[in-house]
Chains A and B, each alone.
Chain A
Amino acid sequence: MTSYILWILDFFQRFFRWLGVDYPLMRNIVEVKLMMDNRRNYATLGKRYQTSDANNRLLAVYGMNAFLGALMSVFIFLLPSVLLSTTILLGYVIAWVALNLISDYSELLLDSTDNTILLPRPVSDRTIWMARLVHLLTYITLLTLSIIIVPTLVITYKLGIIYLPVFLFLALQATLMAVFFTSLLYMAVIRFSSKERVKDMISYVQIGMSLFFTAGYQILPRLIPYDKLAEVQDQIQSWHFLLPSAWLGGMMDMLVHRTYDASHLMLTVLGLGIPPLLLIINTCYLAPYFTRKLAAMGSADAGTPAPVTLGKASGYVPRLAEWVTSSQTEKAVFEMSWKITTRDRKFKMRTYPALGALVPLLFIILRPLWQGKVSMSEFKDGVSYLVGIYLLQIIAGTFYDNTYQSDDYKASWLYSAVPVHRPGDVILGNFKAGFLKFFTPFYLFTSLVLLTIWGWKIIDDLLAGYFFAAFVTSSDAWFRPSGWRMPFSQEPKVKGGRSTLMVVMMLVVLPVFGFVHYGATFVTGGGVVMMLLYAGLAWGTLKSYRRLNWTQFE
Chain B
Amino acid sequence: MNTVISIRQLHYTYSGEQPVLKGIDLEVRAGEIIGYIGPNGAGKSTTIKILLGMISDFSGEVEVLNRNIRTDALEIKRKVGYVPENAALYEVLTPLEYLTFIGRLYSMEDSIIERKAEDLLHLVGLSGHLNQRMNTFSKGMKQKVLLISGMIHNPEIIFLDEPLSGLDANAVILVKEILTQLRSAGKTIFYSSHIMDVVEKISDRIVILNQGQIIANDTFEELKEQAHLGSLERIFQGLTGDDTTQSRASDFLQALQ
Contacts and interface: CB of A to CB of B under 8 A. Distances in A.
B77 interface: yes
B88 A116 contact: yes
A32 B91 CA distance: 12
A299 B14 contact: yes
A115 B86 CA distance: 12
B90 interface: yes
Contacts of A113: 88-90
A418 to B, nearest CB: 16
Contact of B104 (A28, A115, A119, A302): A28
In the A-B complex, the 5 residue pairs with the smallest Cβ-Cβ separation, listed nearest first, are: A116-B88, A122-B77, A39-B92, A120-B82, A122-B78
A121 B102 contact: yes
A120 B45 CA distance: 13
Interface in A164-187: none
Contacts of B45: 302
Contact of A122 (B15, B74, B85, B93): B74
B109 to A, nearest CB: 12
21 contacts: A24-B107, A28-B105, A32-B97, A36-B92, A40-B92, A113-B88, A113-B89, A113-B90, A117-B88, A119-B53, A120-B52, A120-B54, A120-B77, A120-B82, A120-B84, A122-B74, A122-B75, A122-B106, A122-B107, A123-B74, A299-B15
A199 to B, nearest CB: 17
Interface in A95-137: 112-113, 115-124
A492 B86 CA distance: 24
Nearest to B83: A120
B167 to A, nearest CB: 18
Interface string A23-64: 011001100100110011000000000000000000000000
A296 interface: yes
B251 interface: no
A116 B93 contact: no
Contacts of A501: none
Contacts of B106: 121-122
B242 interface: no
Contacts of A28: 101, 104-105
A104 B195 CA distance: 39
Given A32-B97, A119-B54, 17 more contacts: A24-B104, A32-B101, A112-B88, A118-B105, A120-B53, A120-B54, A120-B80, A121-B77, A121-B105, A122-B75, A122-B107, A123-B74, A123-B77, A296-B14, A299-B55, A300-B15, A302-B45
B195 to A, nearest CB: 19
A303 interface: yes
In terms of DSSP, what is the predominant structure of the interface of chain B? Answer: loop
Contacts of B15: 296, 299-300
Interface residues of A, number: 26
A118 B88 CA distance: 10
A28 to B, nearest CB: 4
Contacts of A39: 92, 133
Interface of A: 24-25, 28-29, 32, 35-36, 39-40, 112-113, 115-124, 296, 299-300, 302-303
Contacts of B104: 24-25, 28
A299 B54 CA distance: 11
Nearest to B106: A122
Interface in B54-82: 54-55, 74-75, 77-78, 80, 82
A25 B105 CA distance: 6
Nearest to B52: A120
Contacts of B16: 296
A422 to B, nearest CB: 27
Q: Is the interface of A mostly helix, strand, loop or mixed?
A: helix
B197 interface: no
Given A119-B52, A120-B52, A122-B105, A36 B74 contact: no
A120 B75 CA distance: 11
A123 B105 contact: yes
Q: Give the contact-size bracket for chain B.
A: 20 to 34
A116 B84 contact: yes
A39 B107 CA distance: 26
Contacts of B53: 119-120
B188 to A, nearest CB: 16
Contacts of A117: 88-90, 102
Contact of B97 (A35, A118, A121, A124): A35
Nearest to B54: A119
B208 to A, nearest CB: 20
A68 to B, nearest CB: 26
A40 B102 CA distance: 20
A296 B215 CA distance: 29
B17 interface: yes
A28 B89 CA distance: 16
A124 B74 contact: yes
B12 to A, nearest CB: 10
- Which of B52, B86, B102, B105 is the most central at the interface, judged by chain A CB atoms within 10 Å of its CB? B105
Contacts of B14: 296, 299-300
A297 B22 CA distance: 22
Interface in B73-131: 74-75, 77-78, 80, 82, 84-86, 88-90, 92-93, 97, 101-102, 104-107
Contact of A303 (B55, B75, B78, B86): B86
A179 to B, nearest CB: 25
B85 A300 contact: no
A219 B55 CA distance: 52
B77 to A, nearest CB: 4
B177 to A, nearest CB: 25
A303 B90 contact: no
Nearest to B15: A296
Contacts of A24: 104, 107
A24 B78 CA distance: 16
Interface string B10-24: 000011110000000
Contacts of B78: 122
A116 B85 CA distance: 10
A371 B78 CA distance: 71
A472 to B, nearest CB: 35
Nearest to B91: A113
Contacts of A120: 52-54, 77, 80, 82, 84
Contacts of A112: 88
A405 to B, nearest CB: 17
Interface in B151-186: none
Q: Which of B82, B92, B107 has the most CB of A within 10 A?
A: B92
Nearest to A119: B54
B147 to A, nearest CB: 14
Contacts of B86: 116, 303
Contact of A32 (B52, B80, B93): B93
Nearest to B48: A120
Contacts of A302: 45
Contacts of A115: 54
A303 B77 CA distance: 22
A300 B77 CA distance: 24
A383 B148 CA distance: 69
